Amino acid sequence: MSFNDLVGQDLAKTILKRSLKADRLSHAYLFIGESGLGKDIAAFEFSKAINCHESEDDSCGECISCRKAVNNNHPDIKEIRPEGASIKIDQIRELQQEIIYKPYESKKKVYIIYSGDKMNIQAANSLLKTLEEPPSHAIIILLADNVNKILPTIISRCQLIRFKRVSELLIKDNIISNYGLDEKKADLITALSGGRYKVALNLIEDQELLQERDRVLDLIISFKGIDKVEAFSVVQDLLDDRERISQILDQILVWYRDLLVLKLNKEVNLVNIDYLDQLEKESNGWNIKGLEDIIKLIEETNNVIRGINVNLQLSLEVMMLKLIRLRGKNYDQGNRGYF
């Protein structure tokens, strides 16, 4: 693996490679961008490249330093991940105790903090102290999906590296050449990935994910004609799968977006391309305003439930009740659709 294995993200790669080549490294980096864009691959490859003995602006993968990194036993590359739901102050205190000592055998001591947006406030304040007076032999790479959850005082002390969604063509070409998928499957995976290469890889490597998606789509299709009681039981099912609720809401959102896309005759932007028949028949019954309202509702709910101290059950129940009402108001029941 090297930077070249990171698909897309050319700007991020260029900035990092340039600073390696010029030997002008910042003491702290903040990698920002939604999950699935390869921030973690980039951070790990960067940490290897910083200490590689052979390559100037990348990692060679062959030298002793690169090999230790790949085997996860490099004494100067440390990784911090959330313990449970958050990164705790004890984890940052441990970093602070270690970071003051010089690297064992490398140029730099590198700390990668994954899911930096999951630092609790005490941990974040504690990290801030280190960022205010960083030892010259250390580099901290902080990763975050959501920049709004990082203290502004931390952001201002890091070099920001942004990760963006990549073109569908790039993803399709890569998965066909690396995994030998046929055209049809590659089109579906590419559409579902939405420009996030790691999402595409997960869908290829974990067959379960496509089955789970089918289950979610079946659930959405069943929304038609359900009453309050049934809606609450849908919420109970969702609560059983707490970890994935946000992801499921995203899938529901994409379904309604697809219906809107069809209404606007922009088929080329469809995501659930293998459900085209069902989508076409369902979209006949809807009006555009109704679909826009539902999309807004789901987006709002998804934002709310990502916050802290949220009553998850209540938020989902409210969403379901509004969804039923919007369907009743905006869906032509006389439509002889598929469902």
List interacting residues with Zn ion (CB under 5 A).
Answer: 52, 54, 60, 63, 66
Residue 60 CB, nearest approach to Zn ion (Å): 4
d(CA 332, CA 335): 5
Q: Is 106 or 115 the residue whose CB approaches Zn ion more closely?
A: 106
Residue 106 CB, nearest approach to Zn ion (Å): 11
What residue type is 78 in one-letter code?
K
d(CA 50, CA 198): 24
Beta strands in the chain (DSSP E): 28-32, 77-80, 109-113, 138-144, 159-162
Cα 179 to chain center, whole Å? 22
Q: In 3D, which of 163, 165, 207 has the Cα closest to residue 189? A: 207
Instruction: Using DSSP, state whether 236 is helix, strand or coil.
Output: helix
Tokens of 227: 């009453």
Q: Is 53 or 296 the residue whose CB approaches Zn ion more closely?
A: 53
Residue 107 CB, nearest approach to Zn ion (Å): 12
Q: Is 2 or 146 the residue whose CB approaches Zn ion more closely?
A: 2
Q: Is 62 or 300 the residue whose CB approaches Zn ion more closely?
A: 62
Q: Is 54 or 94 the residue whose CB approaches Zn ion more closely?
A: 54
Residue 47 CB, nearest approach to Zn ion (Å): 12
Q: Is 60 or 209 the residue whose CB approaches Zn ion more closely?
A: 60
DSSP string, 265-332: T-GGG-S-GGGHHHHHHHHHTB-HHHHHHHHHHHHHHHHHHTSSS--HHHHHHHHHHHHHHHHHHHB-
Residue 304 CB, nearest approach to Zn ion (Å): 46
Residue 58 CB, nearest approach to Zn ion (Å): 9
Residue 69 CB, nearest approach to Zn ion (Å): 8
Q: Is 51 or 278 the residue whose CB approaches Zn ion more closely?
A: 51
What residue type is 262 in one-letter code?
L
Cα 89 to chain center, whole Å? 24
- Return the exposure string of 100-128: e unless at least 16 CB atoms fall within 10 Å of the residue's CB, then b: eeeeeebbbbbbbbbbbbbbbeebbebbe
